[in-house]
Amino acid sequence: MTIKNITILGSGIMGHGIAQVSAMAGYKVFLRDIEQKFLDKAMEKIKWSLQKLSEKNKITANEVDTIYSSITPVVDLRAATSNTDLVIEAVPEDFKLKEKVYNELNGMVQDDVIFASNTSTLPITELSKLTTRPQNFIGVHFFNPPQLMKLVEVIPGTQTNPKVVQELTHYVQSLNKHPVICQKDVSGFIVNRIFIPLVHEALFSLDRDRVSMDVIDSAVKFKLDFPMGIFELADYTGLDVVYKASYEMNLRDKNVLLMHPKIKELYDNNQLGQKTGKGFYEYKDNNYERVNLTQEKSSQYDPLSILGVAANNAAWLIENKVCTLEDLNTALKLGMGLKTEIFELVKNLNTSKVINRLREIEMQQGSFYRPNKYLENIK
Ligand code: 3HC
């Protein structure tokens, strides 16, 4: 089957971005949300983004108009799916909500139409069972902002037809993005298995080490060479996304992260980061605003436990054959913008120091911090 028309369900940060990059690759897109006001906001963001890309000569002014007009915002689900080849679900990360959406879709869309979920953490096989087409169901996980991040994780469920994996891989490539296949349908897949626990670890570091958020973030940016600090990235991703991903991951696998209560507190107070003007930091602009992080502040902190927790989860992925070391490095480079490979970073910060710091914290906070044996071989 050739994919021409695509329906995106959910017009939030991920949904509107996926709609835009699909339209930029020449697909006709139906962007669906439950209220017109969400769609209006999404279309505004798409216009802003297209104009930014045009200012930077990535697309022409004419293309801005053509791309924009190939996206049809629509509230009616039947109209959004009546002439589609691929449905990408990007609704909030809540199993019950996704179940409701798939129940509605099942009777409405023919079984040969592929359903893909942009879930960030929910098991694909579990989701596929909510549909009438487990063999035509797959995970395609984009990264924020989809307009700039090159990675897409492709996650087959146990019943996904290999042809569907192939078709979705082609679709991802047609967007000029890089697919990495997640070989096992594990909680958090590849990148979120590393990113989400880091937000909690940054908070534990704040409690333990009594330094400020911007010092920790500066150290992450300048000593680990991440493009953003962890608190900054969490605010940018949205603390609703981080909270829901944490909750769902923790429900399925207690070893993947240690929950810090602050995430739920911020979520309950609707302090969701950049989108609400306040999260860990405060913001004036809801389009794109950066936190002032400096090299000078970074000299006050060694982010040993942050790197240790990331490296432990990275080692777990390799040990459990979720991905190869090469795919892990590609995923972290293209999905989180890491300039240096994760185990190189461990070496650079000094492997023994990282392992010893994890052991010290293990004595206080338990086995979650036990250094993975894989780390001992990093020399
Ligand atoms: N469309 C077009 N342009 C955009 C844009 C968008 N959506 N968003 C930002 N921009 C523009 C900015 O306005 C800015 O333009 P300017 O130069 O005119 O000011 C430019 O892009 C970025 O400039 P910066 O100097 O701030 O950029 P960086 O070199 O740091 O790159 C970045 C920006 C690519 C976002 C980089 O900081 C990065 O890689 N950050 C990490 C992002 C990340 O880790 N994402 C994954 C999160 S996890 C996830 O999404 C999974 C989910 O399931 C939770």
Contact 148 CB / ligand 1 (< 6 Å): yes
- Known catalytic residue: 187? no
The answer to whether 234 and 200 are in contact (CB under 8 A) is no
Tens digit of each residue's pLDDT (9 = 90 or more) over 269-302: 999 999 999 999 999 977 789 999 999 999 999 9
- Residue of 192, 218, 312, 313 with catalytic role: 192
- Known catalytic residue: 170? no
DSSP character for 83? Answer: T
Instruction: Choose the weakest-confidence range: 253-262, 285-294, 298-307, 365-374.
Output: 285-294
Q: What is the pLDDT of residue 339?
A: 97
Give the residue-averaged pLDDT of 359-377.
96
Kindly report the number of other CB atoms within 10 A of residue 35's CB atom: 10
- Known catalytic residue: 192? yes
The answer to whether 114 and 135 are in contact (CB under 8 A) is no
Q: What is the pLDDT of residue 326?
A: 97
Domain ranges of the chain: 5-181, 191-376
Q: In the chain, what percentage of residues exceed pLDDT 70?
A: 99
Q: Which two tokens stand for residue 160?
A: 């996904």
Q: What angle do CA 207, 201, 368 make, to 5 degrees?
A: 110
Instruction: Choose the weakest-confidence range: 23-37, 275-289, 306-320.
Output: 275-289
CATH 1.10.1040.50 holds for 191-376: yes
Confidence of residue 1 (pLDDT cuts 50, 70, 90): low
Ligand 1 site-directed mutation target among 288, 292, 334, 339, most atoms within 8 Å of CB: 288
Q: What is the pLDDT of residue 73?
A: 98
DSSP character for 132? Answer: S
Q: What is the pLDDT of residue 267?
A: 98
Q: In the chain, what percentage of residues exceed pLDDT 90?
A: 96
Question: Which of 144, 30, 156 is closest to 87 using CA atoms?
Answer: 30
The answer to whether 292 and 214 are in contact (CB under 8 A) is yes
- Known catalytic residue: 120? yes
* Exposed e or buried b per residue across 223-252, where buried means at least 16 C-beta atoms within 10 angstroms of its C-beta: bbebebbbbbbbbbbbbbbbbbbbbbbbee
Q: What is the pLDDT of residue 51?
A: 98
Q: What is the pLDDT of residue 285?
A: 77
- Which residues does 62 contact at the CB level (< 8 Å), separation at least 6? none
Give the separation between CA 22 and CA 39, rounded to whole angstroms. 17
Contact 218 CB / ligand 1 (< 6 Å): no
- Which residues does 24 contact at the CB level (< 8 Å), separation at least 6? 59, 67, 175
Q: What is the pLDDT of residue 352?
A: 97
Give the residue-averaged pLDDT of 5-28.
98
Q: What is the pLDDT of residue 2?
A: 86
Give the position, in ligand 1's atom list, of the atom nearest the Cα of 121.
Answer: 53
What mean pLDDT, rounded, does the chain reach? 96
90 CA to centre of ligand 1 in angstroms: 20
**Is pLDDT of 251 > 70?**
yes
- Which residues does 191 contact at the CB level (< 8 Å), separation at least 6? 141, 143, 151, 153, 331, 332, 335, 336
Cis-peptide into 261, omega within 30 deg:
no
Give the residue-averaged pLDDT of 39-54.
98
Strands 137-142, 114-117: pairing is parallel
Q: What is the pLDDT of residue 217?
A: 98
Q: What is the pLDDT of residue 288?
A: 85
Where does 5-181 sit in CATH, by number? Answer: 3.40.50.720
The answer to whether 370 and 362 are in contact (CB under 8 A) is yes
Residue closest via CA to ligand 1's atom 39 equals: 337
pTM beyond cutoff 0.85? yes
Kindly report the number of other CB atoms within 10 A of residue 292's CB atom: 10
The answer to whether 54 and 63 are in contact (CB under 8 A) is yes
